[in-house]
Amino acid sequence: MPAEIPDYHISDNGQLDTQHGKKIQVVEEYPVVEGIASVRILLNSDDLEHIYFVKEPENGFRELKIIDSMVSEIERMIPLLLEGGELDTFQDLDYVISKYISDRHHDFDNDLKKKLMYAVQKKHVGFGKLHVAVLDAEVEDVSCNGPGMPVFVYHKKYGSLKTNIYFKNEAELSSNLVKFAQLCGKEVSVSSPILDGITNAGHRIQGMYGHEISPKGSAFTIRLFREKPFTPIDLMKSGSASAEMIAYFWYMVEYLNSALIVGPPAVGKTSTLNSILMLVPPNTKIFSIEETREINILHPNWVAASTRETSNTSASFRGTDTVIDLFELVKMAMRQRPTYLAVGEVRGKEAYTLFQAMSTGHTTYSTMHAESMSTLLNRLESEPLNVPRILVSYLKTVIIAHFIRKGQGTIRRITEVNEIVGVDSKTGEVIYNRAFSYDSRTDTHVFSGYSLLLKKIAALRNIDEEALMKEFQDRISLIDGLANKENLEYREIAETVSRYYNGRRDESRIIRKSKDGE
């Protein structure tokens, strides 16, 4: 049972308020910066609202004076280091602070050293007030709608949450937005009020400065990039997919079936793509293309490319700052002969090239905004994608994800896995088989018991379907075993997949021969 904390309330402006007498439960608590900062997930018993509460170091008056004084001293050193290009990461800053303390304050205890390190990192390398939320591996994005309003985070487990973080006024918020722009190597001002940039860490920041285009004042959203890859086991543990579904995706990848992952914005399409790519056989070549860096996999033969926007119009005419879009990168990737081509999201003319790649035997994976099979087909055939229906038949699998309402919040679930059979020659309709569906009453994924992919694999390997289903169950057991391990690292998942493939090398010739003969 969660502990109860009486008289603990967070008002709309983010301040702690103990006057309302409301009961707040601590649902979960975990450290973000070990020994320094943690996060509490609170539940307001009155309105059943979850709250993301950042708990930072509580310093006494003497400690606060010492830390403020030392931060000021270190701040005078930082501009010189920045100019010399010596300070870029937490590790660099750790070195500067450690050396400063050992040279001048070697008598400080470890607790005070940690607090000083945290205070300087938060201000100069981190995101200030957002420091803990940005470091929190459970948070996917952070957003602020204006001054005096609580900052919101999107938590992997609890969805959208109000926090106890807020910017007091327009000046403070705008000042922070300017700093965020600098982290992206860009500028934002009244004359150029839109910020769209990526930090060195891969976080994407989109913001609006002042009141020029935002009536409430400055606002922003930070989409966070995580160095730790999202794995198939993460997909399963989050409830988005079942072990059966992961085993199916494994066969889909192994036997070079192209797929599209579709659904509304922020439903986890790229995370699903990332997890599927972790099932790729070792040493086969993957070429990924994105506008914003999100794909992150542990694979020895992976080439990652991203688009480039011009920042100087006159320079682009001279060819020194040429725009490189998804279309150009997809064409380039074809010349590098990848076994797998992954495109972060298709929404323009690159879709036609991608489907042409499928028709010539390339295995491609991508994401797209669409609610269902019918809306997907409508989008593909309409401007600006313009994919002929005949090319759609080369797409083998469509994975559809949705938000599902559960209690006061929403959860992400893969709701359909559809196998495309072909195009009806008389009606022109796309024929497909639904291999997996989602039962919202029981929150479970249901396998139909019939799969074109598994049937095809049995025929390729010249084994009966019963024998293949036994192997299918073995893979499910392997996935369940990984999911039940404590402290499972993504490297162990990658190594398990690699060992499994290495034990079945004799079949790789059959797979490749079949693909080349299509």
pLDDT in tens, 92-151: 666 666 766 666 665 666 777 777 778 777 776 678 899 999 999 999 999 999 999 999
Q: How confident is the model at residue 7 (pLDDT cuts 50, 70, 90)?
A: very low
β-bridge mates for residue 166, sequence order = 150
Per-residue pLDDT averaged across 66-94, rounded? 60
Query: Residue 86's CB: how many other CB atoms inside 10 A?
Result: 12
Higher pLDDT, 95 or 251: 251
Work out whether the CA dihedral 128, 208, 185, 191 comes out positive or negative: negative
496 assigned to some structural domain: yes
Average pLDDT in the chain: 83
Q: Based on the structure, what is the number of domains in the chain?
A: 1
Report how far residue 420's alpha carbon sits from residue 463's, in angstroms, rounded to the nearest whole number.
23
Question: What distance lies between CA 94 and its chain's CA centroid?
Answer: 27
Work out whether the CA dihedral 183, 187, 188, 194 comes out positive or negative: negative
Half-sphere exposure (Cβ direction) of 370: Cα atoms closer than 13 Å: 24
Is the predicted pLDDT of residue 475 greater than 60, yes or no? yes
In degrees, rounded to 5, the angle at the alpha carbon of residue 124 between the alpha carbons of residues 216 and 196 is 45
Query: Residue 489's CB: how many other CB atoms inside 10 A?
Result: 11
Nearest to 399 by CA among 236, 234, 273: 273
381 assigned to some structural domain: yes
Residue with tokens 């989050």: 238
Report how far residue 475's alpha carbon sits from residue 461's, in angstroms, rounded to the nearest whole number.
17
124 assigned to some structural domain: no
Name every residue whose Cβ is closer than 8 Å to that of residue 409 and which is 6 or more positions away in sequence.
50, 158, 159, 160
Of the given ranges (114-123, 144-153, 200-209, 294-303), which has the lowest mean pLDDT?
114-123
147 assigned to some structural domain: no
269 assigned to some structural domain: yes
422 assigned to some structural domain: yes
Amino acid 102 reads S
> pLDDT at position 313, please?
38
> pLDDT at position 15, please?
46
410 assigned to some structural domain: yes
Q: Where are the alpha helices (DSSP H) in 397-439?
A: none
| CATH for 345 | 3.40.50.300
Range of the domain at 422: 232-516
Residue with tokens 């992976």: 302
Report how far residue 208's alpha carbon sits from residue 216's, in angstroms, rounded to the nearest whole number.
10
Per-residue pLDDT averaged across 271-280, rounded? 95
> pLDDT at position 48, please?
77
3-state secondary structure of 13: coil
3-state secondary structure of 211: coil
Whether this prediction's pTM lies above 0.85 is answered by no
Percent of the chain with pLDDT over 90: 50
264 assigned to some structural domain: yes
Strands (E), 409-491: 409-423, 430-439, 444-447
> pLDDT at position 312, please?
43
Q: Inter-axis angle of helices 243-254 and 452-461, to 10 degrees? A: 50
Per-residue pLDDT averaged across 158-179, rounded? 93
Report how far residue 173's alpha carbon sits from residue 179's, in angstroms, rounded to the nearest whole number.
10
